Every structure is written in structure tokens, then in C-alpha cells.
Structure 1
Amino acid sequence: MTTFGLIHGGFQTSWCWGKLRDELERRSHRVLTVDLPVSDTTADPDAYLDVVASAFGSAPDPVVVVGHSIAGWTAMRLPDRIPVEGIIYLCSCINLPPGEYEDEPLPVISADPADWTPDDVGLITMAPDAAREYFFHDLDPALADEAISHLVRQSVTGVAGPTSKPTIPAVPASYVKATDDRAVSDAWATWAATLLTGRDALLIGGSHFPLLSRPQELADLFEQIVARF
């Protein structure tokens, strides 16, 4: 049995993990989730880390932490706070310091910047059509509608990354890249996998949300990853 700590990405709540959580629990794994304060304009990445460390810190065993999308930065720093068995970067993106890596392929996000524009208070609203295009294009329409209904506004404060070149944690790590991810740039994800894990990305088909579109396949892949940890 593995204890998985699942951290959702931007515009999300822990609702998005439901199908994968059910699949992992069916296989007798323990699953922990958390709701990040993504709509709080005062909550920075340090606040996200505090919330996750509090939620997962009482686990009886070291956690395999899964950081989806912008939660990659939170997942990367969690080993400094609680016992972590390993990290799975799932379609992750981290806003690294500009110019720190000369070979970094930019942009990180492949979506149209017009769909990510914050309002006057620093909140981004993901329109339903944009969510279908970038997040949920391979979901059954009814499930896509449900996923869209659970979207929340995302504060730009929370998507900031490190201010200097980060230290890669000394725990086993794997990066899972979706082959039809329309949110995170394929070139960036390929590059980041090597930076963050020291190896090539593992592939899964479909969109930025394999946790919704392919929960059984993703659970299989997670078990394979953990077996190598």
C-alpha cells in the first residue's frame, strides 16, 4: 500500500481527483487530498506549501506526492517539510526565474495569453470554452460540463515560482507528460522532466487532465512509478 498525497493545480479544487482517488483506493492505496487557497489573492506559493504540509504531515507513512500542473512547485518543496517517499510531477509547470536556464524552451504555457488575463484584483477566470480547449477536450461532454462547473478563479499570486535557481530535492521523482496536453508546452515539459527528475518524461495519452480522462491508466502508471522508487 502506498500513501498518495494529491495536490491539484490552478482553477481547481480537490474535486478533480475523485475518479483517480476512487481507482487508487480500490487498489488499497491510501489517498490524501487538499484544497489550495487558489482564489485568495493574498496566498502566495509559501501559503500553498503551508496548507499542503499541514494536510499531509500527519500521514503515518512517507507520502508519494503528486503535483498536477502549477502544483509542481509545491510538490517540489514538500520534502523540506514532511517525509516524502517520492514525487510525481503530473503535467506540471513551474514558473522558473527568467534567464536562469539558458536552454529553457519558452513559453511554459501553450494556451493563448488572452485566456489567462487577470482582472483588476489579480484573479483569472477560466471561461468554459477555454477550459474545454485547454483542459477537458478529451472528456465525455457530460463530465466536461461537470468539471467546468467546479472551476474556481485563480489568483496570479499563487502561480509564482522560485526567485532563484531551485534546489532539486534528493528524493526519487518522475515526470508524467500527456501527449495531447494543450495547457503546458510539450517542449517545456520534455525539458523540465530531465531537469526535475534526471530522466525522460513518462507518457500518457490525452489531455492535461488524465486524472479525469484516464484514471485507470494513470493509476497503473503511478503503481509502476512507485515500484521503481
Structure 2
Amino acid sequence: MTAPGAVLVHGLWHGAWCWDAVRSALDELEVDSVAVELPLTDLAADARATRDALRAFGRPAVLVGHSYGGAVITAAGLHASVRELLYLAAFALDAGESVSRTGPGRGLPDTRLGEAMRLDEQTGEVTLDPVAGRGLLYGDVPDDVAAAAVARLRPVSRMVFRGVPDEIAWRKIPSTYVVCTRDEVINPELQRALARRATRGLEWPCGHSPAASRPEAVARLIAERVRLYG
């Protein structure tokens, strides 16, 4: 099969499961997709997992990254099958940047995400306070969807916050950036600055997790971008 499709990359504390509603909507739109399961140990390992998924997918793809997944698609996006990058409230990093330190972020106020994170000094794992994390990640998501998602969140290595991409795919690959204007995890002004690095930008009046709050809209946008390459 050579018809183009979508490869979906999740953010921190999540898994491939967070794309389930989007993938169901993509099925309705007759767009094939696969969701990557990141190890969330460090950026290099996550980029390798994404390149492996692209290789297994075996066809042209729009590579979609949410939140930290933007750092991953930036690092992995020069794979030969990638036709476009799609950033959803995501880190479109430049050389020398990490998710904890971006050039455009200097001088911008922090969100409350840092207050919600919990570091285990012995294991080096970072978790989220379930109550604060739910409000930040899923403030505009139906209660049942939010509760189910929070129950599946998992620890991540603190190394993921320091990872710097070896390659900067958005410099060579067309890209679309969606700014989530009510985001309480990544400052919308930081998103707007990152969006200026992309080929085109959009703004959606939603919180940090559009795959949960508006999966059909996410699927329609992905399908629109995929069909450009069919």
C-alpha cells in the first residue's frame, strides 16, 4: 500500500492510546494512521521509536506531534517518508533547544505545569499530581474522558526535558502549527513564537489536549494535510 497516511506522536506522560478518538475519526475519513508508543526515556530514544514506526508504516506520511511530541517529530522528521510535519501545541525546537529551554520562551511567564510535576530523586522519574495535572491538561475536556486519561498517565524520565534534537526537520520539511489559545501547559505566546517557524499556522480556541477535546477537528485537519500528498 502506498497511499499516504498519518503517524501520530504523543506527549509526555501519555501513550499511543491518547490518539484513539482521532484514529477512529480518521478511519471514518478513510485515512490510515498509526500511533507511536514512545519510551519517554530521552529524546534520542523517542526519535528512534518514531523513525521505526515510519519505516514500518511504509508509505508517505504526515508526521503529527502533540506537546513534547513536537520535539520528537523535529528530531525524526527528516525520514524519507515524511511529507509534512503537523505540530499541535507542540515544541518546534531549534538547534540547541530543549523542551525546558527554548529561545522564544525566555522572558515569557511560566505556566503552572512546574507546580504540578513531582520528581522522584531516586529514580529520576517525573510524574504529575493527578488533580493539578487533570486541570492543566484536560480543563476543557468532558469529565469522563479526562478521568480516563488521567488514570492512564505514566512517569517519564527527567532526561526528556533536556533532550536537544540532532536534526531540525522543520527547516527542510513543510509544516503546519496549531496554537491552542487556552492552553495552560504551554504558554500560547510561546506557541505563537514557535508557530512562526512553521510554513503555516492556525489558532484554535481550546486547551492543551485537542485530541481529547476535539478529536474530529484534529482528524479533519490531518486528513486535509494527508490528501495533499495522495
Same fold (TM over 0.5): yes
What is the CA-CA distance between 1:163 and the residue it aligns to? Answer: 7.0
Asked whether 1:113 is paired with 2:111, we answer: no
Deviation at 1:29, TM superposition (A): 0.5
TM-score with structure 2 setting the length: 0.86
Give the Cα–Cα distance (whole angstroms) in 1 for the partners of residues 166 and 49 of structure 2: 23
Q: Which residue of 2 aligns with 1:68?
A: 66
Secondary structure of 2:171's partner? Answer: coil
Shift of 1:125: 1.3
Distance 2:146 2:135 in 1: 11
2:102 and 2:179 mapped to 1: Cα distance? 23
What residue is the counterpart of 2:37 in the other structure? Answer: 35
Q: CA deviation at 1:49?
A: 0.9
Give the Cα separation in 2 of the matches to 1:175 and 1:194.
8
Equivalent residue number for residue 202 of structure 2: 202
SS of the equivalent of 1:177 reads strand
After superposing on structure 2, the runs of 4+ consecutive aligned residues of structure 1 that deviate more than 6 Å are none
Alignment length (residue pairs):
222
> What per-residue deviation string (whole Å, max 9, x for no partner) do you get for residues 37-90 of structure 1?
12xxxx321111111111221323211000110011110122333420100011
Deviation string for 1:154-195 (max 9, x for gaps)?
211123232789564311101011121110011110000112
Determine whether 1:217 maps to 2:217: yes
Residue from 134, 147, 165 that aligns with 1:132: 134
**Equivalent residues in 2 for 1:1-229 (5 A)?**
2-38=4-40, 43-93=41-91, 96=97, 101=103, 104-107=105-108, 110-120=111-121, 121-162=123-164, 166=168, 168-195=170-197, 197-199=198-200, 201-226=201-226
- Tell me: CA distance 1:170–1:94, structure 2 relative to 1, closer, same or farther (3 Å): closer
Distance 1:142 1:60, change over 3 A: same
Identity of aligned residues (%): 23
- Structure 2: how far apart are the matches of 1:151 and 1:99? 24
Gaps of 5+ in 2: none
Change (3 A) 1:106 1:163: farther
Q: Return the alpha-carbon distance in structure 1 between the equivalents of residues 7 and 138 of structure 2.
A: 23
Using the TM superposition, give the Cα deviation of residue 228 of structure 1 relative to its aligned residue in structure 2, in angstroms. 5.7
CA distance in 1, matches of 2:115, 2:18: 24
